Homo-oligomer: A and B are copies of this chain.
Amino acid sequence: MSTIIDVAKEAGVSPGTVSRFMNGVLVKERNRLNIGDAIKKLNFSPNLAARSLKTSKTYVVGVVVPSLGDFYTNSQVMKIEQKLYESGYSIILCDTISNHLTEEKRVNLLSQNMVDGLIICSCSKNPEYMERLKEKGIPVVLVDYGSSSSICDQVLVDNIGAVYEPVQYLINNNHKRIALINGDLKSFTGRERFEGYRRALADYMIEIDERYVKNTYFNEQCAHDALIQLMELSNPPTAIITSSYHLTIGALEAIQDMNIKIPDELSFIGFDNVGITKLIRPHLSIIEQPMNEIGEMAAELLLKRINGDFSGFPTVLRLKTKFISKNSVIEKRVVQ
């Protein structure tokens, strides 16, 4: 491994000149050529650790996600990686396996001068590390997770609207018995998505029937069980909405298992238009989150902070979801 000093000797200049050349400062034509040759000849590339030690910049950003196996985080991460790379940053990726302790550990590790900033998609409720990061001056962008407690830059989707819109659509198509398969109300997204459901029904003067509301957990098994319970009610819903990707998968599995005909026997609206959805027939009416945009916004916001621009702090970006109407819902339902 050659160093700047080797290059300097080879090119007959001082190390300082080589360093300047490497960093795009103008040097005399002759020197420029000599240095270029020397670099080629010695196959030189600068030692990033040394540079980082000196400048206290790493050009690395930490990205923390709950599970790499989740389709829906991945498109975000792809965008984040791409966007950051364009600005010269690499990403260190951490999978917390949806575990708060792991999350804490990883963030602590990353904050030891490994990264210039952090994008956290996972997120414990009131992470202790938050203030430590603030002390250390490491900017953080929280994604897809609302934290009323921490003052922090955030990129979120309009969870309320996400569910409000399809419920409204169902109501307009004469559905009254509308069920929601939702996650934990202790989670921020769970609460907001339920609120969208509640508000839509309230706005149309439909009273909530508790039997049609399944606030369980954001996983497939729960959705699977919830769907079966719903359909075994004496007066089952005519339409079901799920409020996350995993819930959608679980519900669809139960629909397969019970051999329910969509949309004739049940109208169904899924969540997150990724992965499997295009293989389902009939084509699913679905709530789509703007994954790419979320990733892009998060990356841009973080870059801004890294570059010392703290205008508008804390910025909370709310991105709209999109309801896509396909063929899994009976429209203009005739009330019997």
- A residues near B (Cβ < 8 Å) are 1, 43, 45-50, 52-53, 56, 58, 60, 67-69, 71, 74-75, 77-78, 81-82, 90-95, 97, 108-114, 132, 135-136, 249, 252-253, 256, 275-276, 278-281
> A113 to B136, alpha carbons, bound, how many Å?
25
What residue in chain B is nearest A253 (Cβ atoms)? Answer: B279
User: In the complex where A68-B78, A78-B95 touch, is A112 in contact with B279 (Cβ < 8 A)?
Assistant: no
Asked whether A47 lies within 8 Å of B43 as measured between CB atoms, the reply is no
List 30 A–B pairs whose Cβ atoms lie within 8 Å, in order of A's numbering. A1-B136, A45-B108, A45-B111, A45-B112, A46-B112, A47-B112, A48-B113, A48-B114, A49-B50, A60-B92, A67-B78, A68-B78, A69-B74, A69-B75, A71-B71, A71-B275, A78-B95, A81-B93, A81-B95, A82-B97, A90-B109, A90-B110, A92-B92, A92-B93, A93-B93, A249-B279, A253-B278, A276-B276, A279-B279, A279-B280
CB closest residue in chain B, given A60: B92
Besides the known contacts A68-B77, A252-B279, 4 further A-B residue pairs in the complex with CB atoms under 8 A apart: A1-B136, A46-B112, A91-B92, A256-B281
B contact residues around A67 at 8 Å (CB): 78
- Chain B positions within 8 Å of A50 at CB level: 49, 53
Query: Which residues of the partner chain B approach A82 to less than 8 Å between Cβ atoms?
Result: 95, 97
Contact B81–A68 (Cβ < 8 Å): yes
For the complex, what is the distance from the CA of A77 to the CA of B70, rounded to whole Å? 12
Q: How far is the CA of A92 from the CA of B89 in the complex (A)?
A: 11
Docked complex Cα distance between A66 and B50 (Å): 30
Distance to closest chain B CB from A211 (angstroms): 27
Whole-angstrom distance between the Cβ of A283 and the nearest chain B Cβ: 10
Chain B residues with CB under 8 A of A43:
132, 135
Which B residue sits closest to A280, measured CB to CB?
A: B279
B45→A49 contact, CB < 8 A: no
Instruction: Provide the bound-state CA to CA distance between A279 and B94, in Å.
Output: 29
User: Which residues in B have their C-beta under 8 angstroms from that of A135?
Assistant: 43
A93 and B91 contacting across the interface, CB-CB below 8 Å: yes
Across the two chains, which residue of chain B brings its CB closest to A53? B49
Q: Hey, which chain B residues are within 8 Å of A56, CB to CB?
A: 49
Query: A77-B68, A78-B68 are contacts. A49–B58 as well, Cβ < 8 Å?
Result: yes
Residues of B within 8 A of A136 (CB): 1
**Assembled-state Cα–Cα distance A90/B61 (Å):** 13
Q: Considering the chains assembled together, what is the distance between the CA atoms of A256 and B74 in angstroms?
A: 27
A22 to B46, CA, bound (A): 28
9 closest residue pairs by CB, A with B: A49-B52, A276-B276, A93-B93, A49-B53, A45-B112, A68-B78, A47-B113, A50-B53, A68-B74
- Complex CA–CA separation, A315 to B60 (angstroms): 32
CB neighbours of A112 from chain B (8 A)? 45-48
